[in-house]
Structure formats: structure tokens, C-alpha cells
């Protein structure tokens, strides 16, 4: 560990009020959020007890910790809670971790918006929640000092007890919680040094809090929610993207037992019935009429023509990054050029979109597997014309999210159904609707050009990207053509490669298809283009891809260490006979990543034998969970590289289920080797990192094996298959 960890700065200094959650028997310690110089406190009055923003203590000594983020398999409930408990000095066995409400105290410290995504959960909240826990710890110590009539400096905190070493006395948290709540809140609480961490970091791992109930089937996902008086809804969307409902004939649908109502939903229509399969059967008998969408019956060819025209047109480009004078440095030289294409993709989580909503005169309650806690609250308040505080969002576990659950369209549909029938409604999309109603990751078209110097390194670099926005649906400010979509250009701007003259241009393409973020945001498609092109430059310079990248990263010891470790673990210098290696490097989500794919050829197919991933996120807070996130991401990256693609015909998707929208399965997965370094000075993310370098590393390995360059994904589009992929069709 080479550097002291630096927490994110510029935390807000505004006070936040108490977030009441109606959980009895808990005493408030610190309310709101702790900024650089201000903190709010709440005093418990008499017998009345309540919960605060982050930490509450019961009279029995149990500690309740709030998790601001949604659990979708990334282990955030465990890690987030452990950070709080570790700094507090709580007994982990006596801690309960719960999902927080939608509230100001739980918003992103920099964006002031509550959501789960972009690998933001730990890396951004880490400093904030440690300070909140440290303030609570010091208030407990102050209360104990008064009770024991000793100096606070003589006390220590460990495993839920405040101890006085000299006398051997100890007081449990529950005994002094109410007195602690009366203490002044320290403006600058002292954080524990890393040497005193007991639950996180240092190669430690904790058993995941969410796993036991998922194994036994007791875990509650969105589709598991049951509410008294609840009915069910099934949905059908317009057959053309952007189409609108003109009318419907539900005479036959009404004959289905349990039918309650047909509910128009603009671009869709729902049938509400007593039970889900009754709703599905009635929906199949419904006879809707539709108005075509503004894009008409577009298809792949017409979409590609628009990409090609946008790339060729000189107008409407926006400079996303400029260092030096790339145009001048490239003038008169013959550049190396290449164009790369990443496909349209669907989120396709295993659990389709669903929500249960109860709309009453007193307020709205939403039970949903959502990444967008605040988005759901704000959007439903607007649609139903109620105050946001009248909308209560209760989060469940998520059966996958990948960014799709950041928006609230499925919750809106459930809310409108509940309002129409006057009962709580659980609405579930079928798999086909989940794909058809997706907000897709758009295709990325990228044209790269570079001129090499006498040493074979890029003297100048010009990168052009055409893609629709992925940020607009989740942005608090409008994003439109002529602006830079900062998520679209992630991984291209502020890159650590040393190139004196570089320029990145972006053009936002408007298409009649809803688009938004998907796992890896812009890093995934951009890394495929950039790291494939870096290999092309290395070849043109007559240099090895690994050593070429070392030269580009000269002066960056942390990045070089990641690259070197990946080369070491993969046996880069001496691969086994008949094996071929490909590498990719990324600086993504404040983590350095190097990945190496090892493969061989078997006839006209290839077999992946091993994938090495080395990551430096600054600190690894839970090693086993970190490995799981990276290796799960590797499998996602294989899906993107090998199979996953949405295509269009007649104004809608050809693919409607996993028989057409293919993902990697267990036989596709080779040996996975994952390691971590801790040299970066800031804390990075992990949940989105694992997939980023896989497509480029795989395509670079294929070039090493075949001398054929693959610039279009997925590989299956070009008839290029792994042994398993070919055998399974």
C-alpha cells in the first residue's frame, strides 16, 4: 500500500433534517449529513425514540444502519453497513442493515440525487458515512465519560462497548444511546486510521448479509411483494417503438374470470385482474389499435445510414477534449485510421421490470426493485399530482439492474393502474415486454486516427464518436444535440496515456429509439475501440502490445503496476504453445484495470482458456466480494463481445427473449484469475469495472492468433464463434 487514502472532497455543508421512519425503540445519534464544517443533531425527547439518517441504537444495544443504495447482487448491503459499523465500533453481529427511505440525507454527496449506479455507492459515500459514524462514536464516548466520571480520552470503543481500561468497566451502546443523543455533535470527528479497521480492508471479507435468504428463498424481490387487497396487471406495449394507443376492444377480455379493468397507458395498455395469469390471458384477448411512432418502420439499414451520414458530415461536432494541437500535428502526415462499431444492447435483467403501487387519498406507496429511489418518488409525484413527501418508496432486492431500473416508467404504469381500480396493483412485464420497452444502450460508431513519431508512439490522436445520448433520461438538466454527453465520452477523455496532441469529438445522434445508460456506461464501447486501436498502433510500430502500453503509461507508477501484474499472472512473455494473448487497459470508475485473454484455435472456432483481471481501486474493502464483482463483470463482458445485440425491423426489435438476445452461459466461462493492487490514492468503484476491457482483450487475442482484426461487435455477427458458441448455435 503506497499511499494514504484520500476521501472525496467538496462535501456539501448544508444541514439536513431528521428523516423519520417510524421505527420504535431506536435513539437518534446524528441526523442529516456531516459536511466539512456543519452537522445537524436531533435530541430524543423523553420516552419518544426515533431513527436518524444513518445510525440508530436500540435499548437492547442492537444497531440499525441505513443503506442508501439498492442491493442487486453487488453486496452493497454488507459492505456499506460494515463501513459504518467499523467506524462506529459496533458489534457486527448486533447490527442490522436496512434500506433507507427516499430522503435528502441519502442523496449523492456531490450530485444531490439518490440513486444506485455508476459504481458510485462506496467510492462516493465512503468519506461521508465514516464521518457520520465517527461523530456517533464520539457522542457515545462523551456520554460514557459522563456516566463513568472519567475523561473521554481514557475510553475506547470496540464491539458495541465503551470501555475504561484502567478500571475495567464497560458500558454497552444501548445503555447510553439516549444520553449520547443529547451530546453536542462534533464538527470534525476523528476518523480511525486504517490500522484500526476491523471489518473492512486488509484483505478481509465478511459473509454477505443477503445470501442466506436468497438461498432459502425468503429474500423479497419485487415480484415477491404481497400487499393486502392486491391485484395484478399485465402490459402490452405498442408494436412500433414510439407508437401510441388509439383505442381498444376489450369485450372478449372481460369474459376472463377475474378481469377488473383495461387501463390505457399512452404507449401501452394494461389489463388488471385478480391474479397475474388472469391478467395475461385477458391481455391476449384484448384488441388494441395503435398509432405508429414518429420513426415509422425503421430497421438496421436505415439506422446505420444515419450513423454513416453523421460521421461524414462536418457539422454539429462538439469538442469533448483537446490537448495540444492534434490537427496541426497530423497535417501533411498519413495517419493510421480505423472505424469501430459497438452494437445496440438491452439491459435484460433476469427479473423483468415490475412494481407494486398503492394509490390512496392519503398518499402513494411503491414497493419496487429500483435503482432510482428519488427518481421514482419525484416522477410519481408529478404524474399523480401529489407532493413528493406523499410518495413512499420501499425498496426490495433487485434481480439485476444494469442501469435500467434508474428510471420509473414501470412504476408509473403500476401507479396509473392502482389509481384506475382503487386497489394496490402489482404490475409485471413479460420478458418480451421487458426487451421491447427497454431504453437501450445505443450503438457507438467510432473513427480513430493517429500519427506516430519516430519512436513509434502516437504524436497526435484524433477520436470521433457518434452516438445518441445515454445520460439524458437520468440527467437533472436537459441533454440535447450540440452538448457533450459526459457519459458517452467516458474512457476517452482524461485518459492516462501520454499523448501530447489529442482531440476527442462527439456528435449526438437523434434517433426514434429510447436510449440510456447500461452497465459500464461509455467505458465499455469506448474501451473496445481505443484498446483495439492501441494494438493496431503497436503493430504499426513493430512493438509488443504490453510493452507499447508501458511506454504510453510511463510516469504513472500505479497504472504500470497494474499492467505489469496482469502480464505476470498471464505469463505474457512465454505463453504455452498454441496459446495466444490479448491485452486491454482502462482507467474507469476511478480504478485502473488490465485484462488479458488467453485463447487457442480449434478448427474455425476459438477456445478461451483463461482471463486475467488486475484492478487497482485504491482500497479493496471486501476481497471476496470484490472478486465476485470483477468476475461477474468478466462474464458480462463476454456476453457483449460474443453474442449480445439488439437489431431492428419494422420499427421494433427482432429479439424479444433470450432465445434471440443471447448472453454468455457457464460453458462460455474459462478459468478466471483476479488480483488487486492498492496504489491509487482515491477509492474507486468495482461493480461496473469487470466487463470494460474484455471485448478489446478478446479481439486483440484473436488478432494474435489469426492476424485478422475484428472491429465490429458482437463477434457472432461476423460468424466468429467460440467452440461452445458454435456448438450451441
3-class secondary structure for 148-190? Answer: HCCCHHHEEEECCEEEECCCCEEEEHHHHHHHHHCCCCCCCCC
Helix (H, G, I), strand (E, B) or coil at 315: coil
User: Are the C-beta atoms of 50 and 20 separated by less than 8 Å?
Assistant: yes
pLDDT at 7: 61
724 has pLDDT over 60: yes
pLDDT tens sequence across 165-196:
999 999 999 999 999 988 888 889 999 999 99
pLDDT tens sequence across 480-504:
999 999 999 999 999 999 999 999 9
pLDDT at 443: 98
Phi, psi of 382 (to 5 degrees): -70, -45
Q: What average pLDDT does the segment 144-159 reach?
A: 97
345 has pLDDT over 50: yes
The CB density around residue 586, as the number of other CB atoms within 10 Å, is 27
Q: What average pLDDT does the segment 401-416 reach?
A: 98
User: Are the C-beta atoms of 127 and 121 separated by less than 8 Å?
Assistant: no
17 has pLDDT over 50: no
pLDDT at 476: 83
**Following DSSP, what letter does each residue of 186-229 receive, concatenated?**
PSSPPPPPGGG-SSSSTT-----SSHHHHHHT---BGGG---TT
How far, in Å, CA of 655 to CA of 665, rounded?
A: 18
In this prediction, residue 5 has a pLDDT band, given cuts at 50, 70 and 90, of low
User: Are the C-beta atoms of 489 and 320 separated by less than 8 Å?
Assistant: yes
44 has pLDDT over 90: no
How far, in Å, CA of 182 to CA of 167, rounded?
A: 25
- 53-62, 75-84, 509-518: least confidently modelled range: 53-62
35 has pLDDT over 60: no
How far, in Å, CA of 648 to CA of 657, rounded?
A: 14
pLDDT at 26: 46
Q: What average pLDDT does the segment 293-319 reach?
A: 97
Helix (H, G, I), strand (E, B) or coil at 135: helix
Are β-strands 231-237 and 425-428 bridged in parallel, bridged antiparallel, or unpaired? parallel
What is the pTM assigned to this prediction? 0.93
574: Cβ contacts below 8 Å, ≥ 6 apart: none
How far, in Å, CA of 345 to CA of 520, rounded?
A: 12
21 has pLDDT over 60: no
pLDDT tens sequence across 598-653:
999 999 999 999 999 999 999 999 999 999 999 999 999 999 999 999 999 999 99
pLDDT tens sequence across 189-232:
999 999 999 999 999 999 999 999 999 999 999 999 999 999 99
Quick one: which of 414, 433, 436 has its CA closest to 425?
A: 414
- Evaluate the CA torsion angle 198, 204, 207, 208 in order and state its sign: positive
pLDDT at 3: 61
37 has pLDDT over 60: no
Helix, strand, coil abundance in the chain, percent, nearest 5: 30, 25, 45
How far, in Å, CA of 139 to CA of 142, rounded?
A: 5
pLDDT at 22: 30
673: Cβ contacts below 8 Å, ≥ 6 apart: 569, 570, 610, 611, 612, 613
401 has pLDDT over 60: yes
pLDDT at 52: 54
pLDDT at 65: 93
DSSP 8-state symbol, 320: E
Q: How far apart are the first and last CA of the chain?
A: 47
pLDDT at 185: 87
How far, in Å, CA of 543 to CA of 456, rounded?
A: 8
What number of CA atoms fall less than 13 Å from residue 624's CA on the CB side?
A: 8
19 has pLDDT over 80: no
pLDDT at 15: 21
pLDDT at 726: 87
Cis geometry, peptide bond prior to residue 714 (ω within 30 degrees of 0): yes
The alpha-carbon radius of gyration of the chain (Å, integer) is 27
pLDDT at 74: 96
pLDDT at 667: 96
Cα dist from 378 to 374, 425, 478, whole Å: 6, 19, 16
Of 377 and 3, which is predicted with more confidence?
Answer: 377
pLDDT tens sequence across 350-395:
999 999 999 999 999 999 999 999 999 999 999 999 999 999 999 9
In this prediction, residue 729 has a pLDDT band, given cuts at 50, 70 and 90, of confident
What pairs with residue 652 in β-bridges? 649
What pairs with residue 597 in β-bridges? 582, 611
- Evaluate the CA torsion angle 47, 51, 57, 63 in order and state its sign: positive
How far, in Å, CA of 30 to CA of 304, rounded?
A: 55
36 has pLDDT over 60: no
In this prediction, residue 51 has a pLDDT band, given cuts at 50, 70 and 90, of very low
Q: What average pLDDT does the segment 302-312 reach?
A: 98
How far, in Å, CA of 550 to CA of 559, rounded?
A: 9
* Strands in 495-604 per DSSP E: 501-508, 580-588, 591-602
Helices (H) and strands (E) in the chain, counts: 16, 27
Q: What percent of the chain has pLDDT over 90?
A: 90
329 CA to centre of own chain:
38
**Following DSSP, what letter does each residue of 10-77 receive, concatenated?**
--------------TTEEE--BS---SS--B-----TT-----SSEEEETTS-EEEEE-S--SSS-HH
Quick one: which of 557, 683, 476 has its CA closest to 9?
A: 683
pLDDT tens sequence across 102-127:
999 999 999 999 999 999 999 999 99
pLDDT tens sequence across 685-723:
999 999 999 999 999 999 999 999 999 999 999 999 999
The CB density around residue 228, as the number of other CB atoms within 10 Å, is 7
How far, in Å, CA of 575 to CA of 566, rounded?
A: 13
Give all domains of the chain, ordered by start, each with its CATH number.
Answer: 36-216 (3.30.365.10), 222-294+353-428 (3.30.365.10), 304-326+440-722 (3.30.365.10)
User: Are the C-beta atoms of 406 and 70 separated by less than 8 Å?
Assistant: no
Are β-strands 95-99 and 63-67 bridged in parallel, bridged antiparallel, or unpaired? parallel
489: Cβ contacts below 8 Å, ≥ 6 apart: 320, 321, 465, 504, 506, 522, 526
Quick one: which of 661, 656, 647, 636 has its CA closest to 518?
A: 636
Q: What does the mean pLDDT of the chain come to?
A: 92
Stated length of the chain = 729
301: Cβ contacts below 8 Å, ≥ 6 apart: none
In this prediction, residue 326 has a pLDDT band, given cuts at 50, 70 and 90, of very high
How far, in Å, CA of 343 to CA of 513, rounded?
A: 14
User: Are the C-beta atoms of 508 and 485 separated by less than 8 Å?
Assistant: yes
Q: What average pLDDT does the segment 294-320 reach?
A: 97
531 CA to centre of own chain:
22
How far, in Å, CA of 59 to CA of 94, rounded?
A: 12
Quick one: which of 405, 393, 417, 402 has its CA closest to 268?
A: 417
DSSP 8-state symbol, 245: E
Are β-strands 648-649 and 580-588 bridged in parallel, bridged antiparallel, or unpaired? unpaired
pLDDT tens sequence across 238-263:
999 999 999 999 999 999 999 999 99
How far, in Å, CA of 102 to CA of 374, rounded?
A: 6
Q: What percent of the chain has pLDDT over 70?
A: 93
pLDDT tens sequence across 62-92:
999 999 999 999 999 999 999 999 999 999 9
How far, in Å, CA of 375 to CA of 284, rounded?
A: 32
Q: What average pLDDT does the segment 518-535 reach?
A: 98
312: Cβ contacts below 8 Å, ≥ 6 apart: none
Amino acid at each position: 500500500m503506497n499511499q494514504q487514502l484520500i476521501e472525496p472532497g467538496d462535501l456539501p455543508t448544508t444541514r439536513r433534517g431528521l428523516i423519520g421512519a417510524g421505527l420504535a425503540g431506536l435513539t437518534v445519534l446524528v441526523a442529516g449529513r456531516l459536511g466539512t464544517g456543519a452537522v445537524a443533531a436531533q435530541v430524543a425527547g423523553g420516552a419518544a425514540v426515533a431513527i436518524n439518517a444513518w445510525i440508530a441504537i436500540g435499548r437492547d444495544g442492537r444497531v440499525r444502519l441505513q443503506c442508501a443504495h439498492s442491493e442487486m447482487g453487488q453486496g452493497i448491503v454488507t459492505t456499506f453497513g460494515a463501513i459504518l459499523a467499523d467506524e462506529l465500533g459496533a458489534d457486527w453481529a448486533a447490527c442490522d442493515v436496512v434500506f433507507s427511505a427516499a430522503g435528502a440525507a441519502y442523496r449523492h454527496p456531490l450530485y444531490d440525487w439518490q440513486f444506485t449506479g455508476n459504481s458510485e455507492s462506496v467510492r462516493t459515500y465512503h468519506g461521508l458515512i465514516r464521518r457520520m459514524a465517527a461523530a456517533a462514536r464520539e457522542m457515545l464516548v462523551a456520554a460514557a465519560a459522563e456516566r463513568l466520571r472519567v475523561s473521554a480520552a481514557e475510553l475506547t470503543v470496540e464491539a458495541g462497548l465503551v470501555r475504561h481500561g484502567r478500571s475495567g468497566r464497560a458500558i454497552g451502546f444501548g445503555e447510553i444511546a439516549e444520553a449520547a443523543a443529547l451530546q453536542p455533535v462534533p464538527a470534525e470527528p476523528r476518523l480511525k486510521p486504517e490500522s484500526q479497521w476491523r471489518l473492512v480492508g486488509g484483505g478481509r471479507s465478511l459473509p454477505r448479509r443477503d445470501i442466506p435468504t436468497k438461498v432459502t428463498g425468503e429474500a423479497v424481490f419485487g415480484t415477491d411483494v404481497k400487499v393486502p387487497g392486491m391485484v395484478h396487471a399485465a402490459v402490452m406495449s405498442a408494436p412500433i417503438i414510439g407508437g401510441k394507443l388509439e383505442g381498444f376492444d376489450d369485450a372478449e377480455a372481460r369474459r376472463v374470470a377475474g378481469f377488473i379493468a383495461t387501463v390505457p397507458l399512452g404507449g401501452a395498455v394494461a389489463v388488471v385482474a385478480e391474479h397475474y395469469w388472469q391478467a395475461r390471458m385477458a391481455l391476449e384477448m384484448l384488441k388494441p389499435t395503435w398509432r405508429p411512432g414518429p420513426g415509422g418502420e425503421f430497421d438496421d439499414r436505415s439506422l446505420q445510414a444515419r450513423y454513416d451520414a453523421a460521421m461524414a458530415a462536418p457539422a454539429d461536432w462538439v469538442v469533448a477534449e483537446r490537448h495540444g494541437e492534434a490537427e496541426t500535428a497530423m497535417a501533411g502526415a498519413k495517419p493510421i485510421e480505423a472505424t469501430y462499431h459497438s452494437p445496440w444492447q438491452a439491459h435484460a435483467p433476469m427479473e423483468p421490470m415490475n412494481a407494486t403501487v398503492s394509490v390512496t387519498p392519503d398518499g402513494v406507496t411503491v414497493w419496487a426493485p429500483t435503482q432510482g429511489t428519488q427518481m421514482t418518488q419525484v416522477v410519481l409525484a408529478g404524474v399523480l399530482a401529489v407532493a413528493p413527501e406523499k410518495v413512499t418508496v420501499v425498496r426490495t432486492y433487485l434481480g439485476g439492474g444494469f442501469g435500467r431500473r434508474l428510471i420509473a416508467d414501470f412504476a408509473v404504469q403500476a401507479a396509473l393502474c392502482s389509481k384506475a381500480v382503487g386497489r394496490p396493483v402489482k404490475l409485471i412485464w413479460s420478458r418480451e415486454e421487458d426487451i421491447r420497452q427497454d431504453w437501450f444502450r445505443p450503438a457507438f460508431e467510432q473513427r480513430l486516427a493517429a500519427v506516430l513519431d519516430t519512436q513509434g508512439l502516437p504524436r497526435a490522436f484524433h477520436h470521433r464518436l457518434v452516438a445518441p445520448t445515454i445520460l439524458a433520461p437520468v440527467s437533472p438538466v436537459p441533454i440535447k444535440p450540440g452538448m457533450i454527453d459526459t457519459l458517452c465520452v467516458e474512457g476517452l477523455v482524461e485518459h492516462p496515456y501520454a499523448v501530447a496532441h489529442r482531440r476527442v469529438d462527439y456528435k449526438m445522434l437523434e434517433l426514434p429509439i429510447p436510449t440510456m445508460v447500461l452497465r459500464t456506461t461509455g467505458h465499455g464501447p469506448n474501451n473496445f475501440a481505443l484498446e483495439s486501436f492501441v494494438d493496431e498502433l503497436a503493430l504499426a510500430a513493430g512493438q509488443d502490445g504490453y510493452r507499447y502500453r508501458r511506454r504510453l503509461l510511463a510516469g504513472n507508477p500505479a497504472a504500470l503496476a497494474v499492467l505489469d501484474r496482469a502480464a505476470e499472472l498471464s505469463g505474457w512473455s512465454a505463453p504455452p504453445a498454441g496459446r495466444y494473448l490479448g491485452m486491454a487497459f482502462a482507467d474507469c470508475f476511478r480504478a485502473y484495470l488490465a485484462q488479458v485473454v488467453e485463447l487457442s484455435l480449434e478448427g474455425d472456432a476459438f477456445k478461451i482458456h483463461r482471463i486475467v483481471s488486475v484492478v487497482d481501486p485504491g482500497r479493496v474493502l471486501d476481497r471476496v466480494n470484490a472478486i465476485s464483482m470483477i468476475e461477474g463483470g468478466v462474464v458480462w463482458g463476454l456476453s457483449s463481445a460474443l453474442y449480445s445485440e439488439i437489431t431492428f425491423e419494422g420499427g421494433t426489435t427482432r429479439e424479444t427473449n433470450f432465445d434471440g438476445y443471447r448472453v454468455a452461459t457457464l460453458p462460455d466461462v474459462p478459468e478466471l484469475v483476479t488480483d488487486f493492487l492498492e496504489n491509487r490514492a482515491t477509492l474507486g468503484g468495482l461493480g461496473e469495472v469487470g466487463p470494460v476491457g474484455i471485448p478489446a482483450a478478446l479481439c486483440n487475442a484473436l488478432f494474435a492468433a489469426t492476424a485478422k482484426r475484428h472491429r465490429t461487435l458482437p463477434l457472432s455477427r461476423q460468424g466468429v464463434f467460440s467452440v461452445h458458441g458454435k456448438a450451441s448455435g
